[in-house]
Amino acid sequence: MHRKAQNVRIELLINAIITLQAVKKNTNHGKNFPSLSAERCGNMNWANSIQNAINYIEENLTENIDYDEIAKAASSSSFYFQKIFGILCGYSLGEYIRNRRLTLAGKELVSKGSRVIDTALKYGYNSPESFTRAFTKFHGISPVEAKKKGSKLKTFSRLSVSLILKGGSIMNYKLVEKEAFTVLEKVEPQEIDDSVNKNSIPAFWERSHQDGTVKTLLEKTTDKSFIFGICYNNAPTDNKTFDYSIAAVCDKDVDVPTGFRINEISARSWLIFECIGPMPDAMQNMWHKIISEFFPSSDYTPTYEMDIEAYPAMEMNSKDYKSEIWIPVKKS
């Protein structure tokens, strides 16, 4: 990847961490987040936080990298650091680490003539075979071919921090004080690693259309405006998974089918952002703007209890498709 593109993405990530670090307490976990003084809120301190996270990764590429330690270096939770990283960078934290390792492995094979098995073990692969598969997929040639004179390898640059001014985007949103409401939902645990859940969540939706889940929700709902995708920040102590549900608004006394549950979403303030355009690009682009531009300059802070993506029953590939992102907030 071109270094300029890497720098642009890390600039956006800095803005996102401003939002992440503003939260003093995650109510679902009961874990305390850093309380930040005004002095610590300068851009250079945010840049330092991100640089610390990058430094931890780079210093441990030949070790077993702890994602919790990466997030700790950036003064955020592992759950949201990985979520924000994936949204803004366009690839997951795991993909960044893997691509950096394969870049360095390629350089070592060429410059030092290291044995394939030694290089594989050094960069976290359990066997030469698994290393060869990953190496070939990334570089386009095998490790053995890479050692030959004149071989061409790919490189994935290290992220570096720089600061720029951002903004100027138009976003349609509204602040809504919602009373408590009940949803009927089907829930599946999802891995926090974005490289996994970016495939597993769409697969969950596909199964839900095929097995009648969505049809059941539409039959039971009291509001056919939207089907929800709800991301709950309720990761267990190992910080490896979170609950994701496909849901719809319902009555409290609804007959709950097998495999579903009802859940009450308590009264709170919501910022609701309108996304216009075909899926998934419209929603991904709006998430990008919300995290990198809106919250860093807003008087509101996410509560990080959950977020909701609201999908109307329309043609999702239409340029006029209107979906929404609901984020619970509190006044900063």
Residue spans in the chain of domains classed CATH 1.10.10.60:
1-166
The pLDDT value given to residue 303: 85
* Cβ-based neighbours of 275, under 8 Å, separated by 6 or more: 282, 283, 285, 286, 322, 323, 324, 325
Output the pLDDT for position 291.
82
- Architecture label for domain 1-166: Orthogonal Bundle (1.10)
How many Å apart are CA 195 and CA 315, to the nearest integer?
27
pLDDT at 234: 65
* Residues 4, 269: Cα–Cα separation, whole Å: 38
Cβ(218)–Cβ(250) under 8 Å?
no
**Strand 306-311, strand 25-26: pairing:** unpaired
Torsion sign over Cα 198, 290, 24, 181: negative
Better-scored residue on pLDDT, 126 or 20: 126
Number of neighbours of residue 326 by Cβ within 10 angstroms: 20
For residues 69-76, give the mean pLDDT: 84
Q: CA 176, CA 300: separation in Å to the nearest integer?
A: 13
Q: What percent of the chain has pLDDT over 90?
A: 56
Residues of the chain with CATH 3.20.80.10: 173-331
What's the CATH number of domain 173-331, 3.90.76.10, 3.20.80.10, 3.40.50.1970, 2.40.50.140? Answer: 3.20.80.10
Query: What pTM was computed for the model?
Result: 0.71
Pairing outcome for strands 268-276 and 173-178 = antiparallel
